[in-house]
Amino acid sequence: MPSLKRKDKAAATEAPLDLGPLGESVGYLVRRAQLTIFKRFFELFAEADIRPVQYSILTLVERNQGLSQTQLAGALGIKKTNLVSLIDELEARRLVRRKPGGRDRRARELYLTAEGAALTLRLHRMDAVLDRRISRTMSVGERRRLCSILRQVAAL
């Protein structure tokens, strides 16, 4: 009788764990899905050296040129001090630039550089590939309803 392959052996000797109430917990399952999505995102965006939060920043600046750091932090739900160091990094890579605000000179308006704009377009195409892969697990109608439910949960 042929011996089991390493992976089959592990599967045969180790039954899946009992997750108890976690197996039916929306919170736990959202977290597990999010961890997998981040893992796939990191693989896909590694060549561009871009993390998920950096992609969100670039997209929001692209779509809302001249927005303030305060507006951006609010939209992303992150602390302004954390955002400032994220912007520092993107500015050092010449993807984003800060300009003094028109109405309030202490405020900083954010813009994409030409290089940042070109990269962001390329990232959108990469993200669309990942989104199609994720969306294959559901119908178009389910996808629409899922997005709507996730927006409601995010606003809880």
Stated length of the chain: 156
Q: Is 65 or 99 the residue whose CB approaches its own copies more closely? A: 65
Asked if 7 touches its own copies (CB under 8 A), the answer is: no
Q: Is 113 in the site for its own copies (CB under 8 A)?
A: no
Report the distance separating Cα 112 and Cα 129, nearest Å.
23
Cβ neighbors of 37 (< 8 A, separation 6 or more) are 130, 134
Residue 2, Ramachandran bin (φ over 0: left; ψ between -120 and 50: alpha; else beta): beta
Does residue 108 bind its own copies (CB under 8 A)? no
Read off φ and ψ for residue 155, nearest 5 degrees. -95, 0
**Paired residues of 68 in beta bridges:** 109
Q: Which of 24, 102, 105, 140 binds its own copies (CB under 8 A)?
A: 24
Site string for its own copies, 39-78 (x = CB under 8 A): -xx----------x---x--xx-xxx--x---xx--x-x-
Shorter beta-carbon distance to its own copies: residue 35 or 46: 35
Residue closer to its own copies by CB (options 2, 77) is: 77
Hey, how many other C-beta atoms are within 10 angstroms of the C-beta on 85? Answer: 8
In this structure, are residues 100 and 109 in contact, taking their beta carbons and an 8 Å threshold? yes
| Residue that is written with structure tokens 């000797």 in the block | 13
The yes or no reply on residue 18 touching its own copies (CB under 8 A) is: yes
Asked whether position 127 contacts its own copies by CB under 8 A, the answer is yes
- Binding residues for its own copies, rule: CB under 8 A, are 14, 16-22, 24-38, 40-41, 52, 56, 59-60, 62-64, 67, 71-72, 75, 77, 124, 127-128, 130-131, 133-135, 137-138, 142-143, 145-147, 149-156
